C-alpha cells in the first residue's frame, strides 16, 4: 500500500497484513480505527488498527507497505 492509498482508508474498513497469517492460513485481518495526516507534512500518515479483542497496532509511512486493503466494509 502506498501513502496515497493509506490516506484514502475509511474508519471501520478492513485491511490485511501482507506476510502475517492466521492459524488457518488466511491473511491476518484488522479494522481501521483512525487515519492521521499532517497538513505541513503531506508525506506523513499514521494508521491505527485493531486486531481481535486486545491487539492494537499503528503503521506509519515507513511501515504502511506491510498492509493492503481488504474486502471488508
Confidence of residue 71 (pLDDT cuts 50, 70, 90): confident
Judged against a pLDDT cut of 80, whether residue 72 lies above it is answered with no
Q: pLDDT tens digits, residue range 11-46? A: 999 999 999 999 999 999 999 999 999 999 999 999
Average pLDDT over the chain reads 93
Length of the chain equals: 73
Judged against a pLDDT cut of 90, whether residue 73 lies above it is answered with no
Alpha-carbon span 55 to 11, nearest angstrom: 17
Q: What is the mean pLDDT of residues 47-73?
A: 91
Where do the domains of the chain lie, and which CATH numbers do they carry?
Answer: 3-69 (2.30.30.140)
Amino acid at each position: 500500500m502506498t501513502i496515497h492509498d493509506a490516506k484514502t482508508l475509511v474508519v471501520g474498513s478492513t485491511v490485511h497484513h501482507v506476510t502475517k497469517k492466521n492459524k488457518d492460513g488466511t491473511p491476518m485481518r484488522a479494522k481501521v480505527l483512525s487515519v492521521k495526516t499532517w497538513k505541513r507534512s503531506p508525506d506523513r500518515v499514521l494508521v491505527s488498527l485493531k486486531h481481535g479483542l486486545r491487539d492494537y497496532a499503528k503503521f506509519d509511512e515507513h511501515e504502511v507497505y506491510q498492509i493492503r486493503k481488504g474486502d471488508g466494509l
